[in-house]
Amino acid sequence: MIAIIAILAGMLLPALNNARATALRTGCINNLKQLALSSANYSDSFDGIVVAVDGDGSAKKPLWGATLSTNGFLSKKGVNGDGNSFRPPEMNCPAETKTKCYVLTYSTYNYAMNLKIGYLTSEPFRRNQVKNPTSMHEMLCWKIPWHYSTWTQMNKYSPINIPRHLPNFTLSYMDGHVGTIQFSFIPTSTDNVFWSGK
């Protein structure tokens, strides 16, 4: 009897784990849809400029999530019940159990933005510069254990880039559509349309 239960459990657990992984990935993709919409709304309000990827976290050069949040383009609801705008639920991948995103702190970001979009607010990058918005990625979900967590730089730091939804990264593109991509399919050259949109 116990053996039969063990066999049944052995058959059932992988299926449950798969279902769980699928649910987490779906939640993450929904976040990416929200983030893509948030970024598009930001551009609509700021003369087509795409939110700058990253500065140094200071008031003059805020991180992209902080810019979206403080300008009202992310949810105001705090995921930890803190009631402020700094922990927007859509910035937190449901598969991430340890690090909740606090948009002011780069070490906590669950999602990274394409560095080619524009590094600093002093180098504005406009949506109309993107020739191929369906192929250029905007944001993706990854695990990265250091402070470049807010930018995608796969070409340069590939050994430590870890998809949170193995074996795939979940991501959004400049036209707002979302999907998944395997690490091996990410082009290493930043001249590629995936990075530059050209």
**Per CB under 5 A, does 93 bind Zn ion?**
yes
Q: Of the listed pieces 80-88, 130-138, 163-171, 180-188, which binds Zn ion according to CB under 5 A?
A: 163-171
Q: Which long-range contacts (CB under 8 A, 24 or more apart) does 158-166 make?
A: 158/183, 158/188, 164/28, 164/93, 164/95, 164/96, 164/110, 165/21, 165/24, 165/25, 165/28, 165/95, 165/141
Nearer to Zn ion, 141 or 154 (CB): 141
C-beta of 106 vs 109, nearer to Zn ion: 109
* CB of 88 vs Zn ion, minimal distance in Å: 15
Alpha carbon 177 to its chain's center: 13
In the complex, the smallest distance separating the C-beta of residue 8 from Zn ion, rounded to whole angstroms, is 31
Tell me the DSSP string of 158-188: GGG-EESBTTEEEEEETTS-EEEEEGGGS-S
Q: Is residue 32 a contact point for Zn ion (CB under 5 A)?
A: no
Q: Which stretch binds Zn ion (CB under 5 A): 89-97, 100-108, 151-159, 173-181?
A: 89-97
The least CB distance from residue 120 to Zn ion, in Å, is 26
Contact predicate 104/56, CB 8 Å: no
Among 114, 136, 164, 194, binds Zn ion (CB under 5 A): 164
When asked if residue 144 is in the footprint of Zn ion (CB under 5 A), the reply is no
Query: Which chain residues interact with Zn ion by CB under 5 A?
Result: 28, 93, 141, 164
